Each structure stands twice: as C-alpha cells, then as structure tokens.
Amino acid sequence: MANTLLTIGMITRRALMVLENMLTFTKQVNREYDDRYAIAGAKIGTVLDIRIPPRYTVTTTVALAVQDAVETKTTLTLNNQHHVDLSFTSQDLTLSIDDFSDRFIEPAIAALANKIDAVGLALYADIYNAVGTPGTTPATLLAYLQAGAKLDYEAVPRDGKRSAVIEPTAQVVIVDALKGLFHSSMEIEEQYKSGNMGLTAGLKFSMDQNVVAHTVGPQGGTPLVNGVPVAGATSFLTKGWTAAAASRLVVGDIFTIASVFAVNPQSRLSTGQLRQFVVTAAFSSDASGNGTVSFQPPMTASGQGQTITVLPADGAAITVLGAANTVSPQNLVFHRNAFTMACVDLVLPGGVDMAARVSSKKLGISMRLVRQYDINLDAWPCRLDVLYGWKTIRPQLAVRMPG
C-alpha cells in the first residue's frame, strides 16, 4: 500500500497540541482567544480592551447611599508575532504523524513554547507584593504558605486556581525539604517519580527554566519621602539619596514606606503589613540627592480603590527590598486571573502552496502554518506563527518569591 503524504492541516493540529503540552507558565494563566482579526473588513486594531470588575464599599447607615459602578479597563497590545521556521521533503511527509512530530514538530515547538513563557514571566516587574529575601532560595514550606497568606490579605479566592511557577533550583530545594513531611502516598510517589512538587499547600507547582532574574538597583544614601504625596499618586518626591547617581532604583524594585500599611480590598482594614510598592520607571537622583519615584499601586487612602491606611508623612523612611545589586530569580505565586495571554487568528495568505490555521477557544491559542514549495530542493519550507500579547490584569492577585 502506498504511503499517504501528511497534510498541512494534520501537521498544524499536531503542532498546536504539542504547544499546549509544552507551555508551563502560560498554561496556568487566563487565556483569551479572539477570532475577529482574520475576518476581511472586520479589523479591530492591535489592542484589546479588558474589563476589570468594580470594587464597592459597605454602607453602615440606614440611608440609601448609591455608589457609582466604576468598571475600569486595561489594554492588551498584540505585539508578539513569534514563529519557528522549518523545511521538510516529500520523503519526510511519508512518515507517520507520530514520527513526524518526534523529528520535526516537537523540537521546533519547544523553542516557541519557551519564548511565549519567557515573555509572560517578564511580567514579574508589574507585581508589587513579595515574600522572602532576594538572594536566598525559598527552602521551606513556610515560605510558600506566607505567599499564600499574602494572597489571602489581598482577598484572592481560594478556588483551586492558585499556582506557583518556580525556577529549577527552587524546585530542587523544596522537593528535598519536604521529603520527610506528611503527604498523601500518591503525592510523595509523584514527587519522586517526576521530581516535581505537584499540588501542595493549596498551590499547583510547576517548574519553568524561563523564570526571570531581577537585579536590585544600586540604591545609595538614606532615602526619605519629600513632602506628603497627593491622594491617588503613582509618583512622589524623595530625598536623601546619594547625589547625582544613575539608576538608584530600576523597574521591578520593591520598596515600603514607614507606617504606610496595606489594607484588605474588601474590608479596607489594615493587614498589619507594610504596603509594598513596585518601581515602574528607572530612577536616578539629582545633584542634591532628590528625585521623583514612579510606582504602583496608587497611594489611595480611602474610597472604593483604597490601597493604604494613610498617606506617607514627610520624612518617612523608604526601605528597598533586597541589598543593592542582588540578583535573584523571581518565582511567582499567583491566581489564574492575575495575568492573561490573548491570542488571535492570523490571516491565511494567498499565492502560496498551502496555508492552514488551527485555533481553540478552550486552549485560547491560534496557530498558522504557511508552506511554499521549493522546486530546486524538492522541499517545503514553512513557518509556524502565533500572534499574541501578554498583560498583567490584576497585579494584587500575584506574589513574587525572589530566590
């Protein structure tokens, strides 16, 4: 019986399945899919609007006090068209789909999956909550429980959608640390079989070698708040830094301010923990050691969006998390809805040998394969493309665990 050539549709479907299996961080987050991009005459631009639910305060008096439903939104830019390019011969296409996948698809898609995960994990710099010490690998179950408690303080649901994505050394350390503690026999067996943590402490653990390392800024001086910031501020004046020094703080640095505590977003009561802020723009001091630091979340001391107990006092001390120039991988503990990856259909081009697209609303991924014949080599060079974007939707639903 003659061999049957593999079709481009078969190859594309298998490639999408392999991509889903190889994703790590991306698999644990909210994934959106939009099929409007590849419809002629229905272009919607390169930005998606994502709604963020409103927050309300509780009225304690008998009188009616209607509140505005402030439904905010954020935008996600589809700015990543990544692809893998390969070529195969007529003889290659006579292989079974399993053999073809082993030889061609899996090696190619592994690189694409790693790239998608790496882009997503770079969003660590949006996250302002953290536990642990930069430069010290989390080595006990307590560290992960503390991360879970930090999520609890932010009213993150305990709905089975919490995950931990950690780098290889952190996984080795915690698997070894917990080998003598109580687990179900099934969980212990799986840990020793796979070397992975699995489900522990209310978190679904995954290892990802793409976890990003952050280098704490050089800091310098004795930084203080310079004047009282305005309500809702996302930047404030500071003083006391080393004079005329570049990059005292870098994007992703975390700091606290004396006597400024975080509040539970539902009760608005103090959590008893200093509010952590994340730097959103590189900061350098001027000739007098002063300068403006930009940060998130906003300093809001009342109302629906309250984040802190009080605004900082003039002269309040600023403390940066981690020693100057410390390098540490940014492991993440998060709820599924902290981040989103949105993927859209790419147009199928004309004038080529073949083009196919496979998408799945369930997976939230769309992939296109375009193939062209090369008569000189009797080969089909082709490219597998994915167009997607990443966004931190609700940074309060995630916690950094520097290693």
Enter the DSSP assignment of 249. B
pLDDT of residue 13: 86
Query: How many CA atoms lie less than 13 Å away from 40 in the CB half-sphere?
Result: 2
- Asked if the model's pLDDT at residue 263 lies above 70, the reply is yes
pLDDT for 193 equals 45
Q: Where do the structural domains in the chain lie, given as residue ranges?
A: 8-58+70-123+340-388, 125-212+330-337, 217-325
- HSE value, Cβ hemisphere, 13 Å, CA-based, for 230: 3
Calculate Rg over the CA atoms of the chain: 25
Under the banding of pLDDT at 50, 70 and 90, the label for residue 102 is confident
Q: What are the DSSP calls for 306-319, one per residue?
A: --BSSPPPTT-BEE
- The domain 217-325 having CATH identifier 2.40.30: the answer here is yes
CA dist 125 and 339 (Å) reads 12
Task: Return the closest-CA partner of residue 203 out of 187, 215, 227.
Answer: 187
Instruction: Give the tokens for residue 106.
Output: 């899996």
Is the pLDDT at 187 greater than 70? The verdict is: no
Domain covering 125-212+330-337 assigned CATH 1.10.3470 in the classification: no
Could you tell me what percent of the chain has a pLDDT over 90? 54
- CA angle at residue 251 from 247 to 254, to 5 degrees? 100
Q: Which range (173-187, 208-222, 288-302) has the least confidence? A: 173-187
Query: For the CA atoms of 171, 174, 177, 181, what is the dihedral angle to 10 degrees?
Result: -120
Residues 118, 235, 75, 254, CA torsion sign:
positive
Cα distances from 55 to residues 220, 264, 265, in angstroms, run 38, 12, 8
Tokens for 2, please give them. Answer: 């003659």
Query: 225: which strand partners?
Result: 238
* Angle CA 30–34–39, to nearest 5: 170
The confidence band for 12, taking pLDDT boundaries of 50, 70 and 90, is: confident
CATH assignment, 8-58+70-123+340-388: 3.30.2400
The dihedral sign for the CA sequence 266, 142, 273, 239:
negative
Flag whether pLDDT at 168 surpasses 80: yes
Per the document, the length of the chain is: 403
The mean pLDDT value of the chain amounts to 86
Q: Would you say 240 and 256 are in contact if contact means Cβ atoms under 8 Å apart?
A: no
* Identical fold, 8-58+70-123+340-388 and 125-212+330-337: no
pLDDT at position 118 is 96
C-alpha–C-alpha distance, residues 100 and 77, integer Å: 34
Read off the pTM: 0.86
How many CA atoms does the CB half-sphere of 181 hold within 13 Å? 13
- Judge whether 298 and 263 are in contact, CB under 8 Å: no
Phi and psi, residue 125, nearest 5°: -70, -10
Positive or negative, the Cα torsion across 162, 167, 170, 172? positive
Is pLDDT at 224 greater than 70 in this prediction?
yes
pLDDT above 50 for 195? no
Task: Kindly tell me if the per-residue pLDDT of 77 is higher than 60.
Answer: yes
- Using an 8 Å Cβ cutoff, are 274 and 255 in contact? no
Distance CA 399, CA 153 (A): 11
